[in-house]
Amino acid sequence: MTLRIIFMGTPDYAAPTLQALYDAGHEIVAVYSQPPRPAGRRGLELTPSPVQRLAESLGLPVFTPTSLKGADKQAEFAALGADAAVVVAYGLLLPSAILEAPRLGAWNGHASLLPRWRGAAPIQRAIMAGDAETGVMIMKMDIGLDTGPVALTERVALSDTVTAGELHDQLSELTARLMVEAMARLERGDLTPAPQPEAGVTYAAKIAKSETRVDFARPAREVHNHVRGLSPQPGAWFELDLNGRPERVKLLATGDVTPDATGAAPGTVLDDRLLIACGEGAIRLLMLQKAGGKPMAAVDFLRGTPVPVGTVIG
């Protein structure tokens, strides 16, 4: 026996879960994804989401509404007669009528250890905060923001070098595996969610452009976490004086965090291998990218762009 499932997801992160449910033999009666977005240099081409592209390659029907608040969209959803809805990084608010339509409810794969990091950017926020662990939880959805009871959990230790991109890929595959297990248990009737703890609630707000600039006045460890939490996208950045004018340089990797005080002003270049003074200690820049260029190791960057000791960046 298999379940009739409506899958709801949009980005790369969600695609492995759709593929895994399909491979597990469930009947995917419909896929909901956000509408195609402008792309290309001029923004003239409408590009389907990764989930839509996968669904179409599998021959599955796809819906791309801009909202699910209307009675007509809700009736259309209910008419699909789904046993369950599976939601992974969909990106649209789900009204109670949508959540209640599937016979066995709506189930979300969330990339954090709830109630920590509810919201849009749990992967980035966990790394930026220097968390020692994170994970994936399968939650039965309610009308709140990631407040529903949790049915399955798997924890993941975080090294002090892992980037948001690397963690994204790891948790994406973990979400797929855990959701397949959740649906199998739901089908058997032995999936029992438990309420989230009331203590420890934090929110993972969407990353704002204003917070992507590196602040070398912060302690070196915080700068390191900030950089890896934004790598590779959207990418932390600083300004460097090139040819008499400040230009933005992305900073994709750092290392050799030195906790000792340097006595130099934050942002000062301390050696010929891009060791930079911070508010506390210093940090070495390892991977950089000029605007319009490719990511390159610091040694290669310095060949074409000398940065003398004593230069102040930021």
Residues 169 and 23 in one domain: yes
Q: Is residue 311 part of a domain?
A: no
Q: Is 210 within any annotated ligand binding site?
A: no
Residues 22 and 137 in one domain: yes
Q: Is residue 71 part of a domain?
A: yes
CATH code assigned at 123 = 3.40.50.170
pLDDT band at 40 (very low <50, low <70, confident <90, very high): low
Residues 141 and 220 in one domain: no
Separation between Cα atoms, residue 148 and residue 142, nearest integer Å:
5
Q: Is residue 312 part of a domain?
A: no
- Find the domain containing 44 and state its range: 4-203
Of the candidates 203, 227, 249, which is a domain's last residue? 203
Looking at the structure of the chain, the number of domains it has is: 2
Of 138, 3, 135, 8, the residue nearest 63 (C-alpha): 8
* pTM score of the predicted model: 0.95
CATH code assigned at 271 = 3.10.25.10
Residues 250 and 290 in one domain: yes
Of 261, 161, 179, the residue nearest 220 (C-alpha): 261
Q: Is 68 within any annotated ligand binding site?
A: no
Which is more confidently placed, 254 or 260?
254
CA atoms lying within 13 Å on the CB side of residue 197: 8
Of 175, 49, 60, 52, the residue nearest 111 (C-alpha): 175
Burial of residue 147 (number of CB atoms within 10 Å: 0-12, 13-18, 19+): middle
Q: Is residue 54 part of a domain?
A: yes
pLDDT band at 206 (very low <50, low <70, confident <90, very high): very high
Structure tokens at 108: 């979300």
Of the candidates 150, 183, 203, which is a domain's last residue? 203
- Look over the chain and give the mean of its residue pLDDT values, rounded to a whole number: 96
Q: Is 114 within any annotated ligand binding site?
A: yes
Q: Is 54 within any annotated ligand binding site?
A: no
Distance of CA 87 to the CA centre of its chain: 15
pLDDT surpassing 90 at residue 25: yes
Sequence letter at residue 37: R
* 69-109 per-position pLDDT tens digit: 999 999 999 999 999 999 999 999 899 999 999 999 999 99
Residues 73 and 171 in one domain: yes
